[in-house]
Amino acid sequence: MLTLPFDEQSSNQTISSVRMSWTSNKLVKLIKPEIDRAPEESLDTRREDELRDVEVKEEESEAGDPAWLRRRASQKKKLSHSRLDRVRLRRIEANARERHRMHGLNNALDSLRKVVPCYSKTQKLSKIETLRLAKNYIWLLSEILSTGKRLDLLTFVQTLCKGLSQPTTNLVAGCLQLNTCSLISQPDEESLSLYAAYDHHPGPEAGGSTTAGSGRSLRPFGSFCSPFESVNDSSSPDSSGSLDMGTLSPPFNFSGLFTLKHEEPVDYRSCHNGLRYCPINQTSSSDLGPYDIQLRGQFYQVQGELNKPFHN
């Protein structure tokens, strides 16, 4: 029987990924000569047992069966014996390919996690939540681009969190608070406008060369305005929508609205990033400026609104 080379595990790999990584290529290399040498042995003991059961049944049936049936059974047996090893090998190779494919998919999902609002290495969004958040995010950006209207914070987060679970919603809300804190650290910026965050990220039309905020006609996230002032006349991301998506460019990277994701991921559960994370109950009110208090009030409002559906 083969022994698994677990001594080759790297320290930062999960058991599953280790199981995968060494099996992907090494297993085939290990298995192939092993199969060539001893076809009756296989790593997949479950499959092995099933196949053995089939053979036993065949042998049992041969005892009292007519000649033609014995002949057929014999052919079947000969066939399975001659192809069994190859089938096993192909199955192992297919498994490796499938793992590789799924890893590619997961890598793509990781990339997606990094460009949607709320990115944390320690508190990773689930796959489904990542996709939902990305969908809402794309819809919001498209809506902002097409209408050019200002978005109030409440509407923005509400739309962003549509269909998300409560933990994810809380995470998004936490990210939101995080960013308002980072804005507070720049008191000279125009009336705490979320638009300020946009200045850190050039749009697609800039092609990476144009500095953002220099006479843009776009107003992705305006100053705080009254709730439900702007985009409520439009369809929601869950509805069919009436947006003309044909003229839209690929989504901007507005991730700076929430976190400076490409610098250093934030652990929302631990406060070690200074101003970038200001937990409500860990910062004394004396540290807060008037803006901060106002924003916190709005944050509570947002969080309360967001949690409403979950409490009903």
CB of 299 to DNA, least distance (A): 21
CB of 24 to DNA, least distance (A): 8
CB of 55 to DNA, least distance (A): 15
Binding footprint of DNA on the chain (CB under 7 A) = 14-17, 19-21, 23, 44, 46-47, 90-99, 101-103, 106, 124, 126-129, 165
CB of 167 to DNA, least distance (A): 7
Q: Are 23 and 95 in contact (CB under 8 A)?
A: yes
Distance of CA 230 to the CA centre of its chain: 29
* Comparison of 129 and 143: residue with beta carbon closer to DNA: 129
* Comparison of 170 and 223: residue with beta carbon closer to DNA: 170
* Comparison of 28 and 138: residue with beta carbon closer to DNA: 28
* Comparison of 38 and 128: residue with beta carbon closer to DNA: 128
CB of 92 to DNA, least distance (A): 7
* Comparison of 84 and 288: residue with beta carbon closer to DNA: 84
Residue 311, token pair as written in the block:
């409490």
* Comparison of 163 and 241: residue with beta carbon closer to DNA: 163
CB of 98 to DNA, least distance (A): 4
CB of 128 to DNA, least distance (A): 6
* Comparison of 48 and 229: residue with beta carbon closer to DNA: 48
Q: Are 128 and 168 in contact (CB under 8 A)?
A: no
- Per-residue HEC secondary structure of the chain comes to CCCCCHHHCCCCCCHHHHHHHHHHHHHHHHHHHHHHHCCCCCCCHHHHHHHHHHHHHHHHHHHHCCHHHHHHHHHHHHHHHHHHHHHHHHHHHHHHHHHHHHHHHHHHHHHHHHHCCCCCCCCCCCHHHHHHHHHHHHHHHHHHHHHCCCCCHHHHHHHHCCCCCHHHHHHHHHHHHHHHHHHHCCCCCHHHCCHHHHCCCCCHHHCCCCCCCCCCCCCCCCCCCCCCCCHHHCCCCCCCCCCCHHHCCCCCCCHHHCCCCCCCCCCCCCCCCHHHCCCCCCCCHHHCCHHHHHHHHHHHHHHHHHHHHHHC
